[in-house]
Amino acid sequence: MALGTTRRRSPDQARWGTYAILFAIIIVSIFPLYWSVVVSSRDQSAIGRYPPPLVPGGSLWDNLEKAFEQGNFGLALTNSVIVAGTITIAVVFTSTLAGFAFAKLTFRGRGGLFAAVVGTMLVPTQLAIIPLYIMVTQWFGWSNDLRGVIVPALVSAFGVFFMRQYLYSAMPTELLEAGRVDGASTLRIYWSVVLPIARPGAAVLGLLTFITYWNDLFWPLILLNTQNPTVQVAIANTRSGIEVDYSLVLAGTVIATFPMLIVFLVLGRQIIGGIMQGAVKG
Amino acid sequence: MTVRTSEQLDNRGAPPDSPGRPSGPSSRRQAWRSRLYRFDVKGSPYLYVLPFFGLFAVFGLFPLVYTAIISTTAWSPRKPGSEDVSVGLDNYGKLLSDDNFHNSLINTFGIGLVSTVPQLLLALGIAHLLNYRLRGRLFLRMGVLVPYITSVAAVALIFNQIFARDFGLLNWVLQPFMDNPLDWRADKWSSWLAVSTMVIWHWTGYNALIYLAAMQTIPYELYESASIDGASKWQQFWHITIPSLRPTIIFTVIVSTIGALQLFAEPFLFDTTRNSNGGPEREFQTVVLYLYQQFWTNGRYGYAAAIAWTLFLITVVIALVNFLLVRRIRSADD
């Protein structure tokens, strides 16, 4: 599924003007990240001066180290890996299971239930924040606890939708029938036929889910305090105090962004393919 | 088609009782087997969708209903027992005359407009450029998508420096044109522009890729025959590309609108008031930021829940209007 798109016939060859505009756009895309490196590699005093420095200075490591200690980033990074990782595994698993049922199995109420999945995609979950907070902290006793961040996010309507669309076209129905003729149970078929076929789609869903929850702020911000933050909560907390030390604040954003940039550099092709594939089928 | 095949299989797996066979433990086992098989085919699909619907019911649907209930109380964690004090629809009545709520609605729609319209137009243009035959396609697409993988929190904090009054990057660039450095947070239009810039920067590339994917499904023959008929590039874009993209454009408009109504992190982190006021005079306090302030800073659960439900209803109405418009346009086409 490489890029998830089929090019019917090549459109027109781009001219240099096209490249020039695209390069300008990419510079705008990358500049804020570059700027965060520039600021976090300088002392606060160098930033508070006109003209501002436009190239990185030599204090990057010092500032990163300082931010790391002050912002509790060691724990924050670990927490983010645990949160995003657990949610990703669970979402991929539950979505593949439900997506398979919606794509290939017949049962009464399938159409209505699938419409319900699509409908719930449009419901903004952050509006339910007050009961969620009461439930998680008072009923389950998970205040300042990673479980409170993880458990409400274990399923995803988008994930079910995505895997249903993927399996609908990727898995031949004959395979299901053949498995049944051989006397295999549906669960057995799911395990040894569906899962291997679903792997490329599941990998893309996993990537998109990981990015989403690595970057999530609203709910972790409410539930977790500075003693036990995720990376995003940690950087959101660096801007406390009247005088903002931008060198340290942006050093925090560098720490929070860097892991995702690495993932993106290695798996960018798959991430782009996933976004474009979801778009065409959606 | 799948319906028929699965019923056929159903019969195949559960052979009808053959009268010649003696009844006994083996036939009972067979009956058990066929029942098991029937459950596997007819019943087990519900088990597979159960994890999704079960967890969604607990952490999605129930909280939404419970929000409605809380919104009819005077619940505040600072007043023990207040969760049982019912106030009927008073919270909603108060909302109607709450100037700060009106202000937050205006801000939300204003920022929504200033961020969504340029964002989608830009995305359309970028997608058009990316649709040319390009060298280094992957590199160019990745470059455009970098903002999407940057977290909202990081985006907001970086732009905080760029839009800072004292020694912000943008004020330095604007220095020759301004007498005094601009305090971006102190005015509605400037703060809306700043917050919208963050949103636009974050989401444009993502939407561009969605448009690009849709553009690539347009058959090239359409363009060929149009150019034989003498249509200019601009005419082709206007009369072939845009109509073919209509479903995708509508999809992105709906998604971006819902996203704009939920805007929180950007104004929250752009704020320097520390109490979620959204600017000294609430210049950029969005509805969700106001909801957060009532819930978290002021501990007014009942009132905050009323805000949440009102916003939910607004979201549903806007989604419905969108949907009806789409149907109207479609039926006008036929």
- Does some domain include residue A3? no
Q: What is the pTM of this model?
A: 0.86
Task: Answer yes or no: do B265 and A218 touch at CB < 8 A.
Answer: yes
Chain A residue numbers with beta carbons less than 8 Å from the beta carbon of B45 are: 101, 105-107, 110, 186
**Section A106-125 average pLDDT:** 85
**Section A187-208 average pLDDT:** 89
Task: Answer yes or no: do B167 and A154 touch at CB < 8 A.
Answer: no
Helix ranges, chain A (H): 16-40, 44-47, 60-70, 73-104, 110-121, 129-134, 146-150, 157-170, 173-181, 186-189, 195-214, 218-223, 231-237, 246-281
**For residue A33, is pLDDT > 80?**
yes
**B261 close to A (CB below 8 A):** yes
- Does some domain include residue A5? no
- Does some domain include residue A9? no
**For residue B157, is pLDDT > 70?**
yes
Cα gap B61→A131, rounded to integer Å: 11
Partners of B86 in the β-ladder: B73
**Section A128-150 average pLDDT:** 92
Contact A246, A264 (CB under 8 A): no
- Does some domain include residue A8? no
Cα gap B185→B200, rounded to integer Å: 18
This model of the complex carries an ipTM of 0.87
**For residue A30, is pLDDT > 80?**
yes
**B304 close to A (CB below 8 A):** yes
Q: Quick: pLDDT tens for B50-71.
A: 999 999 999 888 998 999 999 9
Opening angle at CA B33, ends B27 and B36, nearest 5? 150
Q: What was the pLDDT predicted at B330?
A: 63
- Chain B segment 88-147 residues within 8 A of A by beta carbon are 126, 129-135, 138, 140-147
Cα gap A134→A222, rounded to integer Å: 11
- CATH number at A151 reads 1.10.3720.10
Confidence of residue B5 (pLDDT cuts 50, 70, 90): very low
Q: Quick: pLDDT tens for A40-90.
A: 888 877 777 777 788 888 888 888 988 888 888 889 999 999 999 999 999
- Nearest one of B66, B216, B58, B80 to B137, comparing CA atoms: B216
Task: Answer yes or no: do B49 and A5 touch at CB < 8 A.
Answer: no
Phi, psi dihedrals of residue A218, rounded to the nearest 5°: -55, -60
Q: How many domains would you assign to chain A? A: 1
User: Residue type at B148?
Assistant: Y
Task: Answer yes or no: do B56 and A256 touch at CB < 8 A.
Answer: no
- Domain with A226, as residue range(s), is 16-281
Cα gap B285→A125, rounded to integer Å: 20
Domain ranges of chain B: 26-65, 95-333
Confidence of residue B95 (pLDDT cuts 50, 70, 90): very high
Q: Which two tokens stand for residue A182?
A: 């051989």
Partner-chain residue, chosen from A12, A29, A238, that has the shortest CB–CB distance to B143: A29
Q: Quick: pLDDT tens for B230-284.
A: 888 888 888 888 888 888 888 888 888 888 999 999 999 988 777 888 888 899 9
- Does some domain include residue A10? no
Contact A139, A220 (CB under 8 A): no
- Does some domain include residue A11? no
Task: Answer yes or no: do B153 and A253 touch at CB < 8 A.
Answer: yes
Three-class SS string for B187-217?
CHHHHHHHHHHHHHHHHHHHHHHHHHHHHCC
- CATH code for the structural domain at B95-333: 1.10.3720.10
- Averaged pLDDT score across all residues of chain B: 85
**Section A258-265 average pLDDT:** 92
**Section A102-120 average pLDDT:** 87
Task: Answer yes or no: do B48 and A222 touch at CB < 8 A.
Answer: no
- Averaged pLDDT score across all residues of chain A: 86
- The verdict on whether omega for the bond into residue A51 sits within 30 degrees of 0, i.e. cis, is yes
**Section B70-82 average pLDDT:** 85
Residues with Cβ within 8 Å of A205's Cβ and at least 6 positions away in sequence, in order, are A91, A92, A95, A159, A162, A163, A274
Partner-chain residue, chosen from A51, A122, A129, that has the shortest CB–CB distance to B295: A129
**A187 close to B (CB below 8 A):** yes
- Nearest one of B250, B268, B275 to B325, comparing CA atoms: B250
Q: Reduced to 3 DSSP states, what percent helix, strand and coil does chain B have, rounded to the nearest 5?
A: 75, 0, 25
Opening angle at CA A273, ends B121 and A205, nearest 5? 110
User: Residue type at B259?
Assistant: G
- Does some domain include residue A2? no
Best residue of B2, B7, B8, B59 to probe chain A, by most A CBs closer than 10 Å: B59
**Section B3-14 average pLDDT:** 43
- Does some domain include residue A152? yes
- Chain A segment 148-177 residues within 8 A of B by beta carbon are 151-152, 154-155, 157, 160, 173, 177
**For residue B10, is pLDDT > 60?**
no
Phi, psi dihedrals of residue B180, rounded to the nearest 5°: -120, 150
Q: How far is CA B120 from CA A186, A212, B113, B143, B199, in A?
A: 44, 21, 11, 18, 11
Q: Which two tokens stand for residue A133?
A: 């907070």
Confidence of residue B143 (pLDDT cuts 50, 70, 90): very high
- Nearest one of A215, A103, A120 to A162, comparing CA atoms: A103
Q: What was the pLDDT predicted at B320?
A: 84
Confidence of residue B8 (pLDDT cuts 50, 70, 90): very low
Cβ pairs A/B, distance under 8 A: 300
Contact B49, A102 (CB under 8 A): yes
**Section B122-137 average pLDDT:** 91
Task: Answer yes or no: do A130 and B305 touch at CB < 8 A.
Answer: yes
H or E stretch covering B234: helix B233-236
Q: Which two tokens stand for residue B296?
A: 């978290």
